[in-house]
Chains A and B, each alone.
Chain A
């Protein structure tokens, strides 16, 4: 006999702790983002009116050679099948072969990415070290000469084309004054003279205790890195200034001042502490921008980084390389986003 007592059906729930749930949600959203990125880049690559087969066999190939390469590249299969193979390979860390040099794209990326990372890291350090204090001072001394300078610095950073500034910098500091090393990551003399461990020349030279090579590599990186640093400085200082202005007009600052707190303490212990979280996002964004490859800077300075890599690949219809590079750049964005979210949680008590 059926019971007359009604028990409401409960939604089955996974007994998960909230932190794990949060992590799963994050992972799921990353996967969807990455899949979307793969989908878009893959199909753009395939519908572009570029013939990848010609990129492999060259203009002089006979029809037979052309056809053999066409089959070898799997282009006879349907797009959906090609895409599913591609996703499967990417999940295994395989971006396919570069059509142009017939080497795994993942190896190429391992070689070019450290070059960009080295450049971007020094650039962003430059941007933070100079940009943050500049923004703070500009806000505190609003309307003063230093604020005007900060504004001009930011304006120039925004409006001057990077290739022009880069070429002028090369001409002046390398061509005329001879203060810095020329294009490329190191003097040609040092090519292949010490082992590549991390792919970052400064680190590798230090590991090999080859201080001559270290100095040489530093003399090569200093100009492009300060150029990139200058552009991020312009952005960081401007954002810092506006964040600070907002805080300085807040009531708690007035209260602190009324209480007779020193200006240093008001600015740094109170106001600055409250903009740290916002600043992290700004810095993470500029860093991601630099890592994404500063194409023009890399081209002007013959810097064999990922921006240069993707551009050359694009121009020569090497679609596997373009896709591989784009996916890696996408992953960096996602990772830096997660990282800045994490820092948010550390620094912002409200999110705990």
Chain B
């Protein structure tokens, strides 16, 4: 038997030696940015269709837009990008953009006014989910040849009525307004799809990077554009690798195998604060966590009951315990950093007050069901609500399901209470005002499933009209005041209890400079990064 013992010993030894002799790369190359992120939500990389966070991150670096945010100065608002300047007609409906000279697409074709018109008309014709960001200005397949026009090196867009110019331009910074190369895209058209199929996995932009490859749920590789009009980026390649686990991302960051870890949970953030060579970067994001009460429910439609429930949430307790570092209390529908955002958070856990309000409303104990997506932090929020609601005699049942299960019921107006998250679609206050406080037709037949107010069967009591007025107000400070006013009423009377705004911590290697994750209003940008 000695032979076997020897054999096994040799095998084990060989194994161990083999492992020891392996080289391990402990530092990423100096001209390459390597990121770990969850990118399994990317469904397409066509700017006319993409509507997910990870997709926006990629597309912000590939496609130029007429106007865009400066990654090093987000507070400055939209800036000239492919458009050098613009003028607004007297009636306020037509904006004419003059194109910047000498900018080229990755293909080498010049960026022309015609490409802008093509890109916008393409969005209208394809009519994919995010197309409303442009079509809300009245562009239709029938009228787009008259409303989107080209003259020499200028392109004009004419909206169906007068809107705040800031509203229109904010929308033009969104992913959907990325300018594609008409010649390249149409060369790859199949069955009249405007190149939609091809653009899912290829790029035709003029931005700082072009797409080298996208392997779904695995990785995205970008290559620097040497002719980028702001100068060739220092990072010649950017690779985003899908890494699901926070602990794994942390380990890779500490080992120096990646430069940036995008999805660290609070305990791993605390962990890397102590590590050498690594820093924590925290940004406010646009995502809000809220609960909403279905107004079809006889008790929940009583204003005092809504008030009472808002006093039965332990905002502070959750923020300081399991949500620590991931969310901060925020009770308004506009995320901080948006135009018109306010910091007023009048509600806090107050069981006595809630009990009194319930008594005034004639409610003595009740049983409710809350739809919760099967995700750790949401379950924990659900349990906290369960505890605090019980203090006032309300039995709260958690109905846990996958995102799609819970969402289907919510969209069908079938849940008592929904616990969910909402992120803005474009960097203008109307994005959330138009969702939370706008509901022109509250009937079941309206099927306005995209509006949160409709999903909760809430007739907004005048806020619909006020939101519609704010979006056409040309004076920026007046507009801002209007949103303050809408939110004050909203906090008080709406069936929504907005609870938290997301903070996104990222771990980054300390030699990485100039990285901007886009804050609450836009996506990440890589072209200003140096190491």
A residues engaging B (CB < 8 A)?
A: 49-51, 54-66, 98, 100-103, 108, 111, 129-130, 133-134, 136-137, 140-141, 146, 167, 170-171, 173-175, 178-184, 187-189, 191-192, 215-216, 218-219, 222, 226, 263-264, 299-300, 302, 304, 308-309, 312, 315-317
CB–CB A317/B402 < 8 A: yes
Fill in one digit per residue for B463-488: 1 if any A CB lies within 8 Å of its CB, else 0. 00000000000000000000000000
CB–CB B405/A188 < 8 A: no
**CB contact between A302 and one of B26, B43, B244 (< 8 Å): that residue:** B244
Q: How far is the CB of B340 from chain A (nearest CB, A)?
A: 21
- A350 and B407 CA atoms in complex are apart in Å by 60
With A130-B8, A146-B5 given, name 17 new contacts (CB 8 A).
A49-B401, A49-B408, A58-B51, A58-B52, A61-B449, A63-B447, A65-B129, A134-B8, A167-B247, A180-B22, A180-B24, A188-B219, A188-B241, A191-B221, A300-B248, A302-B245, A304-B218
CB–CB A61/B129 < 8 A: yes
Fill in one digit per residue for B211-242: 1 if any A CB lies within 8 Å of its CB, else 0. 01101111101000000000000000001011
CB–CB A49/B405 < 8 A: yes
Given contacts A215-B23, A218-B22, contact A302 B28 (CB under 8 A): no
SS of A interface (majority): helix
Closest A residue to B409 using CB positions? A49
CB–CB A100/B43 < 8 A: yes
Chain B positions within 8 Å of A189 at CB level: 25, 28-29, 32, 34
**CB contact between A179 and one of B24, B52, B201 (< 8 Å): that residue:** B24
A sample of 6 cross-chain residue pairs with beta-carbon separation below 8 angstroms, ordered by A number, consists of A100-B216, A129-B11, A181-B22, A182-B252, A215-B22, A308-B217
Q: Interface residues of B, CB < 8 Å — how many?
A: 69
Which of B96-104, B144-152, B253-261, B349-357 lies at the interface with chain A? B253-261
Which of B13-21, B58-66, B313-321 lies at the interface with chain A? B13-21
- A257 and B409 CA atoms in complex are apart in Å by 74
B residues engaging A (CB < 8 A)?
A: 1, 3-5, 7-8, 11-12, 15, 18-20, 22-26, 28-29, 32, 34, 40, 42-44, 51-52, 127-130, 132, 197, 200-201, 212-213, 215-219, 221, 239, 241-245, 247-248, 251-252, 254-255, 257-258, 401-402, 404-405, 407-408, 411, 425, 447-450
Chain A positions within 8 Å of B216 at CB level: 98, 100-101, 103, 108
**CB contact between A50 and one of B405, B425, B448 (< 8 Å): that residue:** B405
CB–CB B18/A192 < 8 A: no
- A285 and B386 CA atoms in complex are apart in Å by 46
- A178 and B213 CA atoms in complex are apart in Å by 29
Which 7 A-B pairs rank lowest in CB-CB distance, beginning with the nearest? A219-B22, A101-B216, A63-B447, A51-B408, A317-B404, A61-B129, A179-B19
- A50 and B404 CA atoms in complex are apart in Å by 6
- A263 and B212 CA atoms in complex are apart in Å by 62
**CB contact between A60 and one of B11, B24, B130, B201 (< 8 Å): that residue:** B130
Chain B positions within 8 Å of A179 at CB level: 19-20, 22, 24
Given contacts A108-B216, A188-B257, contact A171 B239 (CB under 8 A): no
CB–CB A192/B212 < 8 A: yes
**CB contact between B425 and one of A55, A60, A61, A100 (< 8 Å): that residue:** A60
